[in-house]
Every structure is written in C-alpha cells, then in structure tokens.
Amino acid sequence: MLTESQTQQYERDGYFIVTGLFDGGEVRQLREAMIGLLQSFSLSDRCPDVGFDPWRRTDGDDANPNRIVYLNDLHLRHARLNQHMRSEKLAEIFTGLWQADVNAFQAASVIKPNDYNADYLGWHQDTPDYVPLSNDRNGCVITYLDHMGPDTGGTSLVPGTHRSGLPKRIYLPVDGWPEYLKKRTMEGFDEDKATIVAPHFNPGDALVFHSSIYHKANANYSATTKIGLINVYQAVDCVDLTRRNQFKAADLPITRRGQIVAG
C-alpha cells in the first residue's frame, strides 16, 4: 500500500496524505460509534481522558450536545474503534515506513464542535509529550470522518520541521481571552514567516505525520461537529524509556511478523 513517493515525502516533509483510505461504509460505522460516545457523556463526566470546550459559550449540536473536544483510549470504549486501531490499512503504512513491526501508543479523537475556536491549542509538536524515547520512529495518523479544512476543523502543518529539534513549548496570555485560557506555541516560532500547508480533507482521508512536525488543529466555524480519529504508533524498537506514556493503548502489539495481532 505504501508507495515510494509517500515514503520520500515522509522523510522530506514529515507527512503525507492518503486520500480515500477508508470507504463510505467504514466512515459511517466509525462516525456512528463516535457519535454514540459523544452523546453518552454529560458535563459531570469531566476527567483527564474526556475534555470539553473551554470557551463554554455556544450550544452543541445533536451529535455532540455537550461540546466534547477530545476522548482518549477509544479502543476500550467501543469495539469498532478498537478494530480501527488494529486496522490492516493503518498498520501497513507504519510497518512500511519503518520496515518493522509496530505497537500502539495512543488511540484518541480530537473533536471540533460547531463554531469552535481552536486557536488556544496552537502550534506544537507531539514528541515533547512522549520523550525520552529510544528513537524517533513514532508517528500519528488522523482519519477524518467529515469534510474538514482550514476553517472547518482540519489540520495545518509546516513541512520539514520534524528535523528542527524540539523548541521549548510556551503558553501565552491573549488579550480578550479568559484568564484560565492560554495559547500554546513554541519558543522562536513565527507563524507569519512559516511555510504552512492547510489541506482540505474528505471523509475517509488519512493524514500521516511524524510526531516532531510542527502542526496545529484548525478552528471549526461550521454549524456541525467535525470528528477525526487519532492513532499513534511506534516501531517495536522505539522504547518509552521512563514509561512516561500513561495512555492505555501504550505498548499494545499491533503487528508481529507483519501480521495483525488480534485484541
């Protein structure tokens, strides 16, 4: 499944897009599973693995009435989402990139409620949340379950920045924002001088990216919730040296000898 062009783009730019990786029936099943979960939570269910819109200024829609913005450990919440984490289509991408078997690292979703300002999430890298690792063979794939773009909940990236080291993460106050809300960014990063790509995604498309690439979640100014599934994997020789990863997907075997491990 993985092409030489995709492998070269990953090495050069730190990302590539697979259009139509999942068909309409698969997308429908995954959306139904996610919407069922979103509708099952109330505001009293706040915990580290369930996050709600910090702005708290707009009603949700039917799919996401309480404006949930992230869920972790999806593989334990719904059998269809566990199946997705173990998808042969996803596994083949990463076993092809690294020429190695892979383990899971995280199974989550970042959700963009209707009329949602995601600017506070800011530009960042994921790797600082993961290190120390024994190597950098750690990567993410986002499966888009809706039409998503620059102003409708997509993802923006700065190509090639996976080779730029790990700048210090900082949080800045913003005029007009509530005191409890700060904007995440990276020391020395100037958005106005960066070469930014902000692709449009169709349902079933997948964005594969290195965990050290500069990226950000885009706002969703549409009238409906947008959903993307996040699955992070790492090669079997990429070891979490201090067992920092507390996600329940951590170290679950996904492939062995190139075959999917049932779970």
Model confidence at 184: pLDDT above 90: yes
Domain ranges of the chain: 4-260
Give the pLDDT confidence score for residue 42 in this predicted structure. Answer: 85
Give the pLDDT confidence score for residue 107 in this predicted structure. Answer: 98
- Class of residue 113 by CB neighbours under 10 A (exposed 0-12, middle 13-18, buried 19+): buried
For residue 44, give the amino acid letter.
S
- Class of residue 44 by CB neighbours under 10 A (exposed 0-12, middle 13-18, buried 19+): exposed
- Class of residue 72 by CB neighbours under 10 A (exposed 0-12, middle 13-18, buried 19+): buried
Which CATH code of 3.40.640.10, 2.30.30.700, 2.60.120.620, 2.60.120.260 fits the domain covering 4-260?
2.60.120.620
* Closest residue by Cα to residue 86 from 246, 231, 251: 231
CA–CA dist 160, 10 (Å, integer): 9
Model confidence at 155: pLDDT above 90: yes
CA–CA dist 37, 74 (Å, integer): 9
CA–CA dist 199, 10 (Å, integer): 16
What average pLDDT is seen over the chain?
96
Lowest mean pLDDT among 52-61, 98-107, 165-174, 222-231: 52-61
Mean pLDDT of all residues in 162-181: 95
For residue 40 the two structure tokens come to 């099952």
- Which residues face 184 on adjacent strands? 171
Sign of the C-alpha dihedral computed for residues 118, 72, 147 and 20 taken in this order: positive
Lowest mean pLDDT among 47-61, 100-114, 136-150, 180-194: 47-61
- Contacts for 76 with CB less than 8 Å, ≥ 6 apart: 82, 248
CA–CA dist 122, 157 (Å, integer): 11
Give the pLDDT confidence score for residue 58 in this predicted structure. Answer: 81
Give the pLDDT confidence score for residue 263 in this predicted structure. Answer: 84
When pLDDT is cut at 50, 70 and 90, the band that residue 46 belongs to is confident
Give the pLDDT confidence score for residue 26 in this predicted structure. Answer: 98
Q: What is the DSSP letter of 39?
A: H
For the chain, give the percent of residues with pLDDT over 70. 100
For the chain, give the percent of residues with pLDDT over 90. 94
* Closest residue by Cα to residue 239 from 106, 113, 134: 134
